[in-house]
Structure 1
Amino acid sequence: MNMEQQVVIITGAGSGIGREAAKLLAKKDKALVLVDFDEKNGQDTLSVVKKHQQHAIFVQADVAKSQDVKKYVDAAKETFGRIDAFINNAGVLSPPALLGDLDEETFDRVISVNLKGAFLGLKYVLKEMEQQQSGVIVNTASAAGIQGQPYLGGYAASKHGVVGLTKTAAIEYGPSGIRVNAICPGGVMTNMTKGLASSPEENGPLRRLADPIEVANVIAFLISPEASYVNGAVITIDGGLTS
């Protein structure tokens, strides 16, 4: 591996934004550590990525479990020697429900994956990056992380938390040469959003959902040298939905 080749971990790489980011970054000659809970989806992404980039591995992991997070961090270090960028992207939705009807088990699951999973990723990756005195992290929040989201209260709570973690980490670790930013997509055409019905008006001024590549393009910019002074930013990618 070229020692100048950027090593990137992507969680939630098995589908949606994570898979599209993996495909794009493979074409940009990044060494990749692909992480997903779903073994089949993760391996499928790896097969696609391998057409462009041989320096790629897949690690099956539940991001809500410390031992699994340590596993993918250790795999990155053992395989590539360092971690240059971290796309902290894994997440789940819950069936739409009023807060009063949202069951506790569903709420706990959404918070566990979306918020605790993001926290654990930060916790263990930041330690490695701090030793290196370099690195860049992109956390996937949501438009629901900066405004209320009717019928998706648990999801909105989790993504508001991701925004808070992002801003805190950016302040704490900026002096160590580490940049931490968040992206806030609106509606994106992924398997996760297929069950959510919406009218064109609900998708914002552009009257459509985003293609995952439109989000991946912003991720690729944020981990690049061109974004070297972007830190602590919360970037909406929602077609003007939250304007």
Structure 2
Amino acid sequence: MKKKILVTGATSGIGYALALELCEKGHDVVATGRNAQKLYELSSVTGCHTIAADLSIVDDVLSMFESACSHLGGLDVLINNAGMISRKCSIEDFTLEEYEAQYAINLRAPSLLCRESLKVMKPQQQGQIINVISTVAKRANATMSIYTAMKQGLAGFSAILMKEAQPHGIKVTSLFPGGTDTNFREAERPEYMNPTSVAKTIAHLLELPADIVMHEMTFRPPVELE
């Protein structure tokens, strides 16, 4: 069934591949990101509607969401995929600017979008919210303290969102993908998951039977054992 879908972080990596996959399946997609040129390229390839927005700015988050729902004529699925890490460093070396930037993108923006989505989905008594977190939220990796804290925060938020949303017919899934070969990394990692493979896995969640809710899903490349 054709669905109205908003995807964040769609200018590269998993988000870009996901927009391609969802459009190929015939869904009505609004894709957002900061890079206007990449969004133009995505729209040229898929025909999807794009909105350039900086999710570190609250007004951009809210106006983008309103524009997306207006274009779609509602919302069936929100996929919070956008994320960022400024750099890896020890705890004594991180700056306040880095902390606030990672908080804004990795925790505040998806939380706000979930809040706004509930306002749309509750009256219609149906919907689906997919929060792409990371297996980093299940670990304690040195030099990744701020990114890990924000992703663990999103995992906790998403778990409570599930409990508040599900009685209203809204499915919530927390995704914990492992290593993926994207430009999120400084060097290519061909042994990691291909973004297209991850996109196909996420898209499959939209096709599960109505009587199934996937609350959490962890998936990794074969080279990762935990």
Q: TM-score range by the shorter chain?
A: over 0.9
Contact 1:140 1:184 in 2 (8 A): yes
> Which of 1, 5, 18 is the aligned partner of 2:2?
5
> Which of 190, 194, 219 is the aligned partner of 1:237?
219
Aligned residues: 225
> Does residue 1:80 correspond to 2:62, yes or no?
no
Q: Which residue in the other structure is 1:201 paired with?
A: none
Task: Tell me the distance in 1 between the aligned counterparts of 2:80 and 2:87.
Answer: 23
Contact 1:137 1:223 in 2 (8 A): no
User: 1:135/1:183 Cα in 2 relative to 1: closer, same or farther (>3 Å)?
Assistant: same
Matched AA of 2:75? I
Task: Tell me the distance in 1 between the aligned counterparts of 2:12 and 2:210.
Answer: 26
SS in 1 for 2:184: helix
Quote the offset at 1:73 in angstroms: 2.2
Contact 2:179 2:221 in 1 (8 A): no
Task: Tell me the distance in 1 between the aligned counterparts of 2:188 and 2:221.
Answer: 18
Moved more, 131-140 or 38-47: 38-47
User: 1:163/1:227 Cα in 2 relative to 1: closer, same or farther (>3 Å)?
Assistant: farther
Matched AA of 2:112? L
Q: Which residue in the other structure is 1:150 paired with?
A: 142
TM-score normalised by structure 1 residue count: 0.86
Measured on the aligned residues, the alpha-carbon RMSD in Å equals 1.9
> Does residue 1:222 correspond to 2:214, yes or no?
no
Q: Which residue in the other structure is 2:49 paired with?
A: 57
Q: How does 1:164-203 map to 2 (within 5 A)?
A: 164-193=156-185, 195=186
Quote the offset at 1:65 in angstroms: 2.8
Q: How does 1:112-131 map to 2 (within 5 A)?
A: 112-131=104-123
> Which of 132, 136, 145 is the aligned partner of 1:140?
132
SS in 2 for 1:35: strand
Quote the offset at 1:70 in angstroms: 2.3
> Which of 80, 85, 92 is the aligned partner of 1:93?
85
Q: Which residue in the other structure is 2:17 paired with?
A: 20
> Which of 41, 45, 54 is the aligned partner of 1:48?
45
User: 1:92/1:21 Cα in 2 relative to 1: closer, same or farther (>3 Å)?
Assistant: same
The unaligned stretches of length 5 or more in structure 1 are 51-55, 199-206
Task: Tell me the distance in 2 between the aligned counterparts of 1:65 and 1:94.
Answer: 17
Task: Tell me the distance in 1 between the aligned counterparts of 2:204 and 2:101.
Answer: 31
User: 1:100/1:197 Cα in 2 relative to 1: closer, same or farther (>3 Å)?
Assistant: farther
Matched AA of 2:31? L
Task: Tell me the distance in 2 between the aligned counterparts of 1:138 and 1:29.
Answer: 19
SS in 1 for 2:209: helix
Quote the offset at 1:197 in angstroms: 8.3
Task: Tell me the distance in 2 between the aligned counterparts of 1:112 and 1:78.
Answer: 24
User: 1:220/1:164 Cα in 2 relative to 1: closer, same or farther (>3 Å)?
Assistant: same
Contact 1:181 1:232 in 2 (8 A): yes
Quote the offset at 1:228 in angstroms: 4.7
Q: Which residue in the other structure is 2:36 paired with?
A: 39
